[in-house]
Amino acid sequence: MGRSLLAKLTAGLAALLVIAGAGFLALTVRTSRMYEQEVQQRLNAELATHIADTYALVDGEEVNQESLATLFTELMHVNPAIEVYLLDATGEILAFSAPEGHVERRRVSLAPVQRLLEGEGDGPVLGDDPRSQGRKVFSAAALASDGVQFGYVYIVLAGEAYDGVAAMLGRNYMLRLAAWIGLAIVAITLVVGTTLVHRLTRPLVGLEQEVRDFTAALAGTPTEQRPASGDEVASLQASFRGMAERIRSQVEALSRADRSRRELVANVSHDLRTPLAHLTGYIETVRLQGNRLTDVERDEHLGVAIRHGERLSRLIDELFELARLDALEVPAMTETFGLEELVRDVARRYRVVAERRGVDLGTDLAIADCEIVGDPRLIERSLSNLLDNALHHTPDGGSVDIAAGREPGGVELSVRDTGDGIPPEHQAHVFERFYRGTSDTGQGGGGLGLAIAKRAIELHRGRIDFSSAPGQGTTFRIQLPLA
């Protein structure tokens, strides 16, 4: 599982504290070093001048080697941390107090010397260290002979000996102390920060869990674990998107359902009103004009009324059946049954109807021993509705063929007719409720037969589709999974 938000924030806080602590430690060491250098330089600002005035380092245009040797010897006993260099007017080193072979430079830049003598700069002025490639604080004074500028006395205040002692003490005391203090501050801050982060993120973690539970409840599934690649925020974002998408789809489904409901009410009202008006009209005619009607006319009026009554009854039955199927998620009654026998029974029952209409009804079944699990009454009703629809749209002399065959994992039934076909502009509405083709005379069903067939097949985890071309007939196909 991916790290939680608390773990990520804690790790980030720890990294930030370590970086800040290291930066603060480095800044403290650097600032302390600069402070120490400036103190040294200010305390020894007159050292070079005092040496230049006390010792006769120049004799005419030559260096006074005897006086210089005396100076170096005394400095070694008094302050071995400093190093004295005698420079000419160009910065070239003429003599020095360091051991031979330790001096790497032969010339010192005079720009820092001039800045120090003129009092320029803010903070310690660093000059060249002849014994390394670095820069150090120094004291300097001009050296003249007989009123003529000879060179400079250049004193490095923190020489090699000082560096060695300072480095040893720094490693053994200051740095260890600063490191322990820094670690203690980081640890205390990390504990306090983690506690605060936990208190601040706890409501967010609870909200994320509630959103995941609510999303799972909407989907009707158990609450899923948080994705392995994200924390609570990423999970909350994913859950919110999923919930928003589900709510959006449900709102759209409700809108479609409401639109279908309004259309259903309008269609039902129309389809019930028409046969009811005809039924009432013919019965009223017989009642009011019964004495003036002949027996033939009376029988004709009553026959029309009966047909409209039967159509009204059939429509009401279809409405109840479709409503019952819509309420189901699976077939109400299931059993294992042979499909071939069911198809042959339906074909025998409709063969009489086909002969009466002058239509040839043929069968081509290759589904011996094919068994499915479901409600045989619903499968029979679906096939009957397809046959009824095919016979209704096939003219005299045409044919309707029922075929069945195996396919991978299931079986396919097809009902093909040689009618006029379905115009392309109407094909998208074939399975819509109350849809009736252009050739419908108004004496057929209420336009619910194909909708009932489609819903019944869907309850069996099957599918139904069709192909049609004007003037070439229509073929409906049903795919069902085997038991």
Half-sphere exposure of 294 (CA within 13 A, CB side): 3
Nearest alpha carbon to residue 215 among 249, 243, 238, 237: 243
pLDDT tens per residue across span 419-432:
989 888 888 888 88
Q: 176: pLDDT confidence band, cut at 50, 70 and 90? A: low
DSSP E strand boundaries for 61-147: 62-63, 83-88, 93-96, 126-128, 135-145
Q: 252: pLDDT confidence band, cut at 50, 70 and 90? A: confident
Same domain, 471 and 380: yes
Q: Is the pLDDT of residue 2 over 50?
A: no
Give the pLDDT of residue 227.
55
Of 124-128, 365-369, 399-403, 464-468, which gets the smallest average pLDDT? 365-369
The helix-helix angle for 5-43 and 175-219 (nearest 10°) equals 160
| Residue range(s) defining the domain that contains residue 72 | 45-156
* Mean pLDDT (whole number) for 203-230: 66
Same domain, 336 and 321: no
Residue at which a domain ends, from 110, 136, 156: 156
pLDDT tens per residue across span 297-306:
888 888 888 8
pTM check: above 0.85 = no
Q: 163: pLDDT confidence band, cut at 50, 70 and 90? A: low
Same domain, 275 and 399: no
Same domain, 454 and 351: yes
Same domain, 320 and 363: no
pLDDT tens per residue across span 387-417:
999 998 899 999 999 999 998 889 999 999 9
Length of the chain: 483
Cα 358 to Cα 361: distance, rounded to the nearest angstrom: 10
Torsion 224-225-226-232 (CA) sign: positive
Domain count across the chain: 3
* Mean pLDDT (whole number) for 52-77: 80
Inside any domain, residue 422: yes
Mean per-residue pLDDT of the chain: 80
Residue at which a domain ends, from 327, 360, 392: 327
Domain CATH number, residue 246: 1.10.287.130
Hey, what are 129's tokens? 């260290």
Determine contact, residues 305/480, Cβ cutoff 8 Å.
no
Residue at which a domain ends, from 108, 128, 156: 156
pLDDT tens per residue across span 3-41:
566 677 777 777 777 787 777 777 777 777 777 778 887
Inside any domain, residue 208: no
Domain CATH number, residue 457: 3.30.565.10
Same domain, 342 and 416: yes
Inside any domain, residue 168: no
* Higher pLDDT pick, 347 / 203: 347
Determine contact, residues 43/158, Cβ cutoff 8 Å.
no
Give the pLDDT of residue 347.
93
Same domain, 351 and 379: yes
